[in-house]
Structure 1
Amino acid sequence: MTFTEAAVEVLRRAGKPLHYKEIADVALRDNLLSHVGQDPEITMGQRLAAMAKREDDRKVVAVLPEGTFALIEWSVPQEAQVEPVPPPMQPAETGEALYRPREREPRAIHAQARRRLAELQAEHEEGSEEVEAERRRQDQGRKGQRRFPPPAEVVFEALAQRQSGSALSELAADLLRRQLLSDALVRDLPSLVAALLEDNRRRTEAGRKPAFIVDGDRVTLVEFPPASALLEEVRAPHGGARPMGAAQLGAEVRRAVVRALRRRVAELDTGAFENLCAALLEKMGMREVRVAKRSKEGPLYLARQRRGVSDLRVAVKLVRGGREIGRADVQELRKDLAHYSAQMGLVLAPGEAGRDARGEASAAAQAPVALYVGEALPEEMIACRVGVTVESVEVPDLDEAFFAGLSRQREERAGRRDREDRIHEEPAAAASEAR
């Protein structure tokens, strides 16, 4: 993910405004960033401040205290929003005596870093292709070799622009012509495929959907983002503000309910949390749910679940509160599986699971452990209709295809009228020539 994409993901998980340093820490901890750089906190603050200043495609706004950002989808009141201030490139002068005197001349490496940072900021704010090309030429001249962006990132952007899959060789040749992919990767397509599959693996480990589908020599996206032309049409000014579509409105409402459910579950006391989990397990098809042992953070449940013609013995570990689930929790549950002769384990917790816990849960040649943690727990509650009510409403939406068809009908009528006029004119012209 880019810095802004990672920031939006972190804020959605947190459900509250965060300082850019906290956002950078969570993004680094969850391995959300595709590239980090020398100072990710400053880079994160600058990228968020630049996005908050945009007029279109703005996803965050700045709020108090300084350096704190919130999602624009949270409908933050205008009086609570402030002017975004990017963090300084260098720490402020304190006036205290330096441990050692300054150099009389600036060090070349510092000057080079400042020029590079200024170029990156200009590229991000203006989106100028000339700035990007100039930066690449300077990199090549300074280091004797060209540095390219991550291959998975450029392939994703290229496929998103095409809105369709493509042959890998053709796509790689086009990216090489645009100086976005190295010649070595173009000649070694298996390495490019390995890079795309590695990106899929990292996304899966982070609990996100894979991006690429590689089928032989053809590559496509699992889910294409909206086409740029459609985005421009949506952003174009109409007679009034265009209402949010039904699908988008439903997705926004679902995300808001998931965040609210997660906060509510994290605030429950031990007894209420146990009752909630017992009700959820019954809705999930568990039978004979009973407490096997208790601990400070929550009990261990044993249950049976019908699979085919046999019963599956399941051990369920409950972890109350918002603490992170680690590798030790999964390992402890596996010990309980062996002790109670259970065949599968579940972890129910409103807190997130760390990368080590996800890796341990999916380890090969081990008893399976399913993690219903973070947003997965409220998602399962919604699917099982536990703690939520569901209403069916009719949501009207603008039929853009209908209005576009009106213009086409006018053009077709004009073309039909021209053809009819030509048909009537041809016999008259033939008769006049005969006379």
Structure 2
Amino acid sequence: MNVQAAALEILKGAERPLHAKEIAERIMAAGLWHSEGKTPDATVSARLYSDIKRNGDKSPFIKVGPQTFALRDSTSVSSGAAPVPATIQKAPEPNSGFSFTDCAQKVLEEFGGKKPMHYKEITKKALQKSWLVTGGKTPEATMYAQVITEIKRQQKRGERPRFVQHGRGYVGLSRWMGQGLAFQIEQHNHQIRRTLRERLLDMKPGEFEELISQLLAEMGFEMVEVTKLSGDGGIDVRGTLVVGDVVRIKMAVQVKKWRIKNNIQAPVVQQVRGSLGAHEQGLIITTSDFSSGAVKEAAQSDKTPIALMNGEQLVMLLMEHGIGVHRSTPDLFEIDEEYTAGGE
């Protein structure tokens, strides 16, 4: 029995989310699978994550937290009991395992009434509705931190943020603001993203590869080197991704300056994988997109992983790091209702 099948059996019996370490322990205790490696929990986590990435909504698993997994549809878990007619008893809604920010959006939509809510109240409602599954001790702080982080990240990328800060821990949905200034800014930035993507297609191959090397350096890569001109089917850029000055991953990058809708196919992924050096992982960056076959091939759990970056992601990262664009930010002031509201 492979890891995925064994994990499926364990999660069916548990009827709740489990950490990869606990899944691995239960699998091996039940004799469903045996690992000769020193980190079976890492193997379980990687296999389940790959299954989710490869199969999407068709995967039986969902990731509900760091290395924590559950069944996508807990109603499919057989309990051995006779079914209860829906007219007599409604089955409880399964934990859906939404992210903190998705939970915030759902709470604001259902309970906000188009008015801001405090992050503590948002977290409380998300937990009560079982939308939020977390083992952390400070879910309120995590909720607020993730909402603020998303706002800042989307602003850096020139996107209209999903949320808006209203001060003193209150947040709302940006779409409640209608088609005012925020909407106009988003429309402008949307056009900039389109224009930037078109400009990338007009660049010469060598210029495009130099641009990619600059982006990789901004993203934390070291020893970035353009290896050869485009068009030869080989690796175009090599570098080492450094995380926290602790983790160092050698990456071989192939760039594809292809027209939109001319999607990368699976053979390109196979070609990159075959060109990797010792201890290297692969990355394909394109101005277009990837076919479903290419995505599936890149996520093969028994092969060296190949990361994929499509044109939309590329443009977002270029804007986030200020490459090919410059930021023009006016100073906007808003009334702080807490200080200016009259007494009752």
Structure 2 length-normalised TM: 0.46
Whose helix fraction is larger, Structure 1's or Structure 2's?
1
Name the structure, 1 or 2, with higher relative contact order (CA <8 Å, separation 6+). Answer: 2
Q: TM-score w.r.t. structure 1 length? A: 0.38
Larger radius of gyration: 1
